[in-house]
Amino acid sequence: MKAYADTGFVVSLYKMESTSEKAAALMRKLESPVWISALSEIELRNAFQLSVFRGEIDKASAELKLRLFQQDLKKGIYAVMPVSSSALHSKTAELIDRHSARIGTRSLDLMHIATAILLNADLFLSFDLRQRKAAKLEGLKVKP
């Protein structure tokens, strides 16, 4: 099964959140690698730094979490999957037109859905309710 993970799902594997146990349990059941995008790497880095800003973790913890993610990437737990920028932008624009006004999806969330669609992923991993709804409307199987 080809699974694509949204950044929020991946963050919950490194930063203790209410969704962390559910994410870890699902990851144990999936085949590696779980697909992510280049956008995911940037968003993950920013998520850890925002956690420092919010006082949730300290700078050393943010750096450790990023290193742990990078080690898992090297181990093949994740695979950064390339997609054409023009195809990604075009598909994202389609998704924005179909979903944003109705369900309030954000552009970056729709970029993840577009990436999963372009990669022909079988499964989309996300905890974001609006993103999950849009992914389902696009025919993706969504977990958890």
pLDDT in tens, 70-93: 999 999 999 999 999 999 999 999
Place of tokens 């919950």: 12
The Cα-based distances of 83 to 27, 46, 91, 111, 118 in angstroms read 23, 21, 11, 11, 7
Do the beta carbons of residue 118 and residue 128 sit within 8 Å?
A: no
Range 99-127 average pLDDT: 97
Residue 104 binned pLDDT confidence (cut-offs 50, 70, 90): very high
Residue 139 binned pLDDT confidence (cut-offs 50, 70, 90): very high
The per-residue pLDDT for 22 is 97
The per-residue pLDDT for 94 is 98
Retrieve residue 74's tokens.
């090297």
The pTM score is 0.95
CA 122 to CA 2: how far, in whole Å? 5
Range 121-142 average pLDDT: 98
Range 44-60 average pLDDT: 97
Does residue 1 register a pLDDT over 90?
A: no
Range 51-76 average pLDDT: 97
Do the beta carbons of residue 33 and residue 2 sit within 8 Å?
A: no
Question: What domains can be seen in the chain, in order of their start residue?
Answer: 3-143 (3.40.50.1010)
Average pLDDT for the chain: 97
